[in-house]
Amino acid sequence: MIDFRFPYILYIYFPLILLWIFWIYKGRRQKILGETNSYLRARLLSKMDTNRIIWKQRLLFLSTITLIFAASGPKIGVRLAPLERKGVDLVFAIDVSTSMNAEDVKPNRLEKSKFEISQMIRQLKGDRVALIVFAGSSHLYLPLTTDYEAARLFLDEIDTNMIPTQGTALSAALQTGLSAYTEDDSKYKVLVLVTDGEDHEGQSIDLARQASKRGMIVHTVGVGTESGSLIPVNDAQGIRDYKRDGDGKLITSILDESILRDIADAGNGTYVRFDNKPANFRAIINAIDSMEKRTLKSNVYSEYEDRYQSFAILSVSLMLAGILMPTRNKKQEEWRGRFVQ
């Protein structure tokens, strides 16, 4: 198989072919000093080897052809090389309850979370990533993968209508996150819990502590503000309203940082807040970068190998041969003239 780094250079062959055809038609069909007397022409060219002149031209022409081919950057065959990925297994558990529609963080809590997580994925270097969505229940949305483009595509499709069971079950999210890992070695596993912190079950701290004892790291991210915000909803007619309780009173969703800090402490992780400030994810990225990494994947890949050097050397060799080839006829012609008295 063959490929070219600069294939457009090969178009130079077209005018070169036309020039060669013209040379064949006009040059090769005409003898040197064609209109001269044959005896005089033989005398004038007695010390030149016409066959060597022709071969000299051929070598220079072949050198030009080979040089153009080398300039196009030919890549021929395959080269096998080891490929290793070193990293950790990183699972994002994302809260998709209706409280994540609150707009105390612009444009809203969920969209802000998706944006920051997308930026975190862009910073990864060889780590595997998975996505979990949870509200009243939790589900593995994207299994562990190193395809970051696919992860960001899945992330973009997350919304608060994905799980009909409402609530914020942090413990269920932690359990699903722990089951997302495929290997038994726990020291290379990280779970990032992204939520507004309204835990409706209360077992999350114990689960984080158990995960920490097994060598896992649990980071938490609080989304929202301490002052909180109303929760916008749309009714069946698409009319915008705000979520109310059973008595018809408006519900204000407030970020509960205390529970998230406790979970992070129990999970030997870091707590950060996603608010209206940019790049709040860097503390977690720095913590991941400082972790010990393992080889997640080791295989070989094939690629074209550059071969322009061989053709360049061949071109220079042909050119030198054409330049240095002598055209002098080594045979000495016997004198057949006469002396005039």
pLDDT tier, 44 (very low <50, low <70, confident <90, very high otherwise):
low
Q: Which amino acid is at 4?
A: F
The backbone torsions φ and ψ at residue 196, rounded to the nearest 5 degrees and listed phi first, read -90, 0
The backbone torsions φ and ψ at residue 298, rounded to the nearest 5 degrees and listed phi first, read -140, 115
The Cα–Cα gap between 116 and 175 comes to: 23
Residues 132 and 93: beta-carbon distance below 8 Å: yes
**What residue has token string 């920490």?**
212
- The tens digit of pLDDT for each residue in 211-266 reads 888 878 999 999 988 888 888 886 666 657 888 877 888 888 888 888 899 999 99
Length of the chain: 341
Say what the pLDDT of residue 337 is.
Answer: 54
The Cα–Cα gap between 311 and 308 comes to: 5
Say what the pLDDT of residue 340 is.
Answer: 47
- The tens digit of pLDDT for each residue in 99-147 reads 888 888 888 999 999 999 999 999 888 788 999 998 888 889 999 888 8
What tokens does 324 get? 């240095």
The fold of 84-298 is: Rossmann fold (3.40.50)
What tokens does 128 get? 């595997």
Domain residues of the chain, as ranges?
2-73+307-324, 84-298
